[in-house]
Amino acid sequence: MVKVIKRDGSEEELIYEKIVVSILKTGAPIDIARKIAFMTIGKIYMDNKESVTAKELTSLILNYLKAENETWYRNWIAYDRVAKKRETEKELK
């Protein structure tokens, strides 16, 4: 199974459903979210990787999102900024 190396250095299993849920938050419909998640995981397996960084995973997803719909792409960027800001605020407390 492929591992995702998160920004904090921890590792977790690459989970299809987590990718789908993240894509759904952009406003993409379920069929597109599933398609992008499938293509993303397929690309990782085709490259024969045992692990992928969160940054690499995000980049793959963003490339597929941008090709599908520019608005969904921008929504991901906006959502990601908010999530990172929340993480930073948690760390400061």
- Coil, helix or strand at residue 2: coil
pTM, whole model, 2 decimals?
A: 0.85
pLDDT tens figures, 15-62? 999 999 999 999 999 999 999 999 999 999 999 999 999 999 999 999
Give the tokens for residue 13: 């299993």
pLDDT at 87: 72
Give the tokens for residue 67: 């090709």
How sure is the predictor about 85, in pLDDT bands with cuts at 50, 70 and 90? confident
- Coil, helix or strand at residue 52: strand
| Length reported for the chain | 93
